[in-house]
C-alpha cells in the first residue's frame, strides 16, 4: 500500500472513531489519490487539488467547492505526516452550499408512489419497495438506517424497531403503529422471500437475497416518482427519498399545532425519534412548510392576545 493510501486509511479510521461515517468522503478521496498517482505525485499540492476538484469543468461551483473541502480536511491531516503537503486555503473555490427545498409529499402522492411499485420486476421486489416507502413515510428514519436494518432489529411482539449505529454511532428504539407492525410481519412472512445469503441478516432484501444498496434504491425511487407523475416544483425542490423524512417531521409538528398540544415537548420527542444529536436540527423543519409557519404565527398571535 502506498504512503498516500495508508494515510487515507488511517485518516478515515481516526475520523470514524469519532462517529463520522465518511462514505462519500472515502469515495472522493480515493478518486483524488488515484488522480495523484496517475500524475506521478506522492504528495498533495494546491495546484493538483484544484485540478482534481474542478473536474469536470462543467460541474456546478458548489460541487467543486465541496470536493475541494473534502480534500482540504485530508490535506490538514496528511501535512502532519508529509510536511511538503500543501493545504488549500478556505474559500479558494467560492461556492455557497444550499439545502434543497424539501418536497413535502401529500398522502395522495405517497399512495401513488406505493401503487407504482406494481411496475417493478417481481412480486417480492414490489413488496420490498412498498414496505420501504411505507416505513420511511411513517417513521421518518433515514434511508441508510432502513436498509441497514437486520431481521432481529424488528420486535413484532412489542411493536418496536431498533436503529443500531445510526448517525454518529447513536442507537434508538422506534415504537411502531400496529398497522406498521402488521405490514412488516406480512412482508417477512411472504412465501416468495428470497433465501438470504449466509452473510446477510437484512430485514429488507433484494431479489438475490442480499441487502439493498443505496444507489439501487435511489435509482428505483426516481423511476417510481416519474411513473407516479411527480415532477419538480422548482429547480431546488425535486422529489427525493430523504424528503419522506422531512414529511414525517413536518406532519408530526403540524399535528401538534392542530390539537393544541405543547409544541416544545413534542419537538423534543420528535428530535429523539429522528435521532438528531442537536434539537436545533429538528427546528429547521419549521421552515419547510408554509402551512406550518402559518399555524406557528397564529399561535403566537393568540399568545400576544392583542398586546403587540
- What does the pLDDT look like over 129-178, one tens digit per residue? 999 999 999 999 999 999 999 999 999 999 999 998 776 667 899 999 99
pLDDT confidence band for 65 (50 / 70 / 90): very high
Average of pLDDT values for 195-207?
Answer: 84
Alpha-carbon span 122 to 208, nearest angstrom: 11
**Stretch among 109-123, 206-220, 285-299 having the lowest mean pLDDT:** 285-299
Average of pLDDT values for 69-93?
Answer: 93
pLDDT at 133: 98
Residue 78 cell numbers, joined: 496528511
Which residues have a Cβ under 8 Å from the Cβ of 48 and sit 6 or more positions away?
Answer: 35, 36, 39, 41
Inter-CA distances, 12 with 21, 54, 85, 174, 286, Å = 9, 23, 18, 30, 34
For the chain, percent of residues with pLDDT exceeding 90: 60
Inter-CA distances, 307 with 257, 294, 298, 300, 301, Å = 22, 19, 14, 11, 9
- Give per-residue pLDDT as tens, 231-280: 999 888 899 999 999 889 888 877 776 676 666 677 778 888 888 777 76
Partners of residue 174 on adjacent β-strands: 161
Alpha-carbon span 59 to 37, nearest angstrom: 23
pLDDT at 67: 95
Alpha-carbon span 244 to 110, nearest angstrom: 9
Alpha-carbon span 167 to 158, nearest angstrom: 24
Mean pLDDT of the chain: 87
pLDDT at 84: 93
pLDDT at 19: 75
Alpha-carbon span 33 to 22, nearest angstrom: 16
Which residues have a Cβ under 8 Å from the Cβ of 59 and sit 6 or more positions away?
Answer: none
Decide if 202 contacts 132 (C-beta within 8 A).
no
- Statement: the pTM of the whole predicted model exceeds 0.85: no
Taking the CA atoms of 13, 19, 25 and 27 in sequence, report the sign of the dihedral they define.
positive
Alpha-carbon span 70 to 58, nearest angstrom: 19
Long-range contacts at 302-305 (CB < 8 A, ≥ 24 apart): none
Alpha-carbon span 272 to 45, nearest angstrom: 43
pLDDT confidence band for 219 (50 / 70 / 90): very high
Give catalytic residues, as residue numbers: 142, 167, 242, 245, 276, 285
For the chain, percent of residues with pLDDT exceeding 70: 84
Placement of cell 478521496 in the chain: 29
Decide if 224 contacts 126 (C-beta within 8 A).
no
Amino acid at each position: 500500500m502506498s504512503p498516500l493510501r495508508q494515510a487515507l486509511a488511517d485518516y478515515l479510521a481516526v475520523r470514524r472513531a469519532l462517529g463520522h461515517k465518511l462514505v462519500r468522503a472515502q469515495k472522493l478521496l480515493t478518486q483524488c489519490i488515484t488522480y495523484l498517482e496517475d500524475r506521478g505525485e506522492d504528495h498533495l499540492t494546491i495546484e493538483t487539488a484544484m485540478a482534481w476538484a474542478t473536474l469536470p469543468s462543467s460541474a456546478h461551483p458548489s460541487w467543486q467547492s465541496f470536493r475541494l473541502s473534502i480534500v482540504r480536511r485530508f490535506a490538514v491531516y496528511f501535512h502532519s505526516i508529509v510536511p511538503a503537503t500543501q493545504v488549500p486555503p478556505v474559500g479558494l473555490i467560492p461556492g455557497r452550499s444550499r439545502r434543497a427545498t424539501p418536497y413535502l409529499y401529500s398522502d395522495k402522492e405517497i399512495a401513488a408512489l406505493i401503487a407504482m411499485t406494481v411496475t417493478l420486476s417481481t412480486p417480492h421486489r414490489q413488496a420490498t419497495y412498498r414496505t420501504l416507502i411505507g416505513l420511511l413515510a411513517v417513521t421518518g428514519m433515514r434511508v441508510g438506517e432502513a436498509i441497514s436494518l437486520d431481521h432481529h432489529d424488528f420486535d413484532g411482539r412489542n411493536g418496536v424497531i431498533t436503529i443500531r449505529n445510526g448517525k454518529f454511532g447513536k442507537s434508538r428504539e422506534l415504537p411502531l403503529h400496529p398497522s406498521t407492525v402488521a405490514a412488516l410481519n406480512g412482508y417477512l412472512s411472504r412465501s416468495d422471500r428470497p433465501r438470504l445469503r449466509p452473510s446477510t441478516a437484512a430485514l429488507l432484501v433484494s431479489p438475490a437475497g442480499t441487502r439493498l444498496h443505496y444507489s439501487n434504491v435511489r435509482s428505483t425511487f426516481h423511476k417510481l416518482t416519474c411513473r407516479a407523475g411527480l415532477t419538480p416544483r422548482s429547480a431546488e425542490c425535486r422529489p427525493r427519498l430523504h424528503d419522506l423524512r422531512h414529511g414525517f417531521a413536518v406532519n408530526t409538528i403540524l399535528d401538534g399545532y392542530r390539537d393544541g398540544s405543547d409544541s416544545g415537548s413534542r419537538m423534543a420527542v420528535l428530535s429523539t425519534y429522528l435521532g438528531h444529536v442537536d434539537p436545533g436540527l429538528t427546528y429547521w423543519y419549521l421552515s419547510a412548510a408554509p402551512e406550518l409557519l402559518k399555524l406557528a404565527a397564529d399561535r403566537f398571535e393568540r399568545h400576544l392576545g392583542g398586546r403587540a
